A and B are shown apart, each in its own frame.
Chain A
């Protein structure tokens, strides 16, 4: 046995795992009625090709650009105002929901008393309710309440995002080193001051990066909500799509790319300043 047959002992298990994955995926594919062959049928391909061909060149006449600039500003305003309102709910919510500032945890080795934990549950529940309903549903609701326009978008973003931001902030507060804030609490400091001096310096960079990322998501979300009449770029894209004005859609998608790029750079810049 100088040259034992070269065979990878892992080959058989890998093959079995692949077959298992395909077997498990197959019902999913049939359930979702996914049929890629439809894409390549003569008629459909021609339709799509025609639609895509209209995307070029992107629309750039003066009047459209003015419209585009207005819609972009509106989108940015919706996202920013929505985030600002969301922070108003998220920050107090996170402070109340987080265990990081528990006074009763100081002498219990970091575990708060049961009644202190029980008091945190309603706040957590509120944050869960706020974020469990998708923003598009809120938007549909508010469009009925306050009419077509950006207000509905702002409110929808504020509500959903306050739930998400509050939850993640609370978890960030709990994940940073608890010793600085605990040392301050032992020295008699009030809880909010212990937060500002003990938790915030360690949590600021992560909070900032998540907030800017959520702002980017809010820009995207405001576009989706535009489709149901909540203003901004989304409404414009919806209109252009209905009028088969591919060039206009292309310009707006390019604007979109620029906005996301901007958010990315902003996040990088701020993080570099803070770290």
Chain B
């Protein structure tokens, strides 16, 4: 079992309930997409799984360990085995791409090696290989502030691939890319994950991408899991209900009753 949540709830400091009674089990090597409207709790769920947030209630188990029962040092060791791909990778603007990618291994390297690596990149072939998988091999020595949003996202993916964790969590990993590149990048990510036997959980805006690339889809709405199905079993009605937005429909009330249409957001 790679991830196991039982009855997990998360309440923010301001009293807002982000997640409620989440039960979720993900086996080793599984690939899962999380979909749902904005503000449904997709990012909160991923940050919880990255042990970036502590649940307010319930049990959380990652890679067979309970992160909040561990000492701080052991928790850091567990975190090194989990990789989080950020929607906008937080990279210092003046850092070079090679350094940003190699920083993926900081949790596994000794401090001496990490500091030496800052003076001279120790594993240039490794960084180049990770970037080449995402067609960015030529950007190895560019500075991060010279890249576009989509390129930065791919550098973030390359960093996590270089980290080679057992569990990859991806928060909207392709949101800044055009549809073709987004599809291609997702298939590269899925390929790498399957080849190396990693587990992948990704939240996605684009429903078609989720349905096309993942064998298991989880729909999240208002902090709860609405459905947990293979893509073939998901009906248009289920998607409609997932993305239904009462607030948006309330505005053009005076107009002719709008024909019911599937509102599938694209990237």
Query: Chain A interface (Cβ within 8 Å of chain B)?
Result: 103-104, 106-109, 177, 179-180, 182-190, 192-194, 196-198, 201-202
Contact = CB atoms under 8 A, between A and B. Distances in A.
Contact of B106 (A104, A109, A190, A201): A190
30 contacts: A107-B51, A107-B53, A177-B92, A180-B90, A183-B89, A186-B84, A187-B79, A187-B82, A187-B83, A187-B104, A187-B107, A188-B76, A188-B82, A189-B80, A189-B114, A190-B76, A190-B107, A190-B111, A192-B115, A193-B111, A193-B114, A193-B115, A194-B106, A196-B115, A197-B106, A197-B114, A198-B92, A201-B92, A201-B94, A202-B93
Interface string B182-214: 000000000000000000000000000000000
Contacts of B51: 107, 186
B140 interface: no
B192 to A, nearest CB: 17
Interface of B: 13, 50-54, 72, 76-84, 86, 89-95, 99, 103-104, 106-109, 111, 114-115, 118, 163
Contact of A184 (B78, B106, B108): B106
A252 to B, nearest CB: 41
A197 B111 CA distance: 12
A197 B54 contact: no
Contacts of A182: 90
Interface centre among B50, B76, B108, by most chain A C-beta atoms within 10 angstroms, is: B76
Nearest to A199: B92
Contacts of A202: 92-94
A150 B163 CA distance: 52
B111 A188 contact: no
B78 A183 contact: no
Contacts of A197: 92, 95, 99, 103, 106, 114, 118
A175 to B, nearest CB: 14
Given A193-B109, A198-B92, 10 more contacts: A107-B53, A108-B54, A187-B82, A188-B108, A193-B111, A196-B114, A197-B106, A197-B118, A201-B92, A201-B93
A187 B50 CA distance: 8
A271 B91 CA distance: 21
Nearest to B114: A193
A103 B52 CA distance: 10
Interface centre among A185, A186, A187, A197, by most chain B C-beta atoms within 10 angstroms, is: A187
Interface centre among A185, A186, A190, by most chain B C-beta atoms within 10 angstroms, is: A186
Contacts of A108: 54
Contacts of B72: 103-104
B90 A188 contact: no
A187 B163 contact: yes
Contacts of A194: 106
A29 to B, nearest CB: 50
Nearest to B86: A183
A203 to B, nearest CB: 9
Closest 3 CB pairs of A and B: A188-B80, A188-B107, A179-B90
A219 B267 CA distance: 58
Contacts of B79: 185-188
Contacts of B78: 188
A197 B95 CA distance: 8
A174 B218 CA distance: 38
Given A103-B72, A197-B99, A183 B54 contact: no
Contacts of B99: 197
Interface centre among B84, B114, B115, by most chain A C-beta atoms within 10 angstroms, is: B114
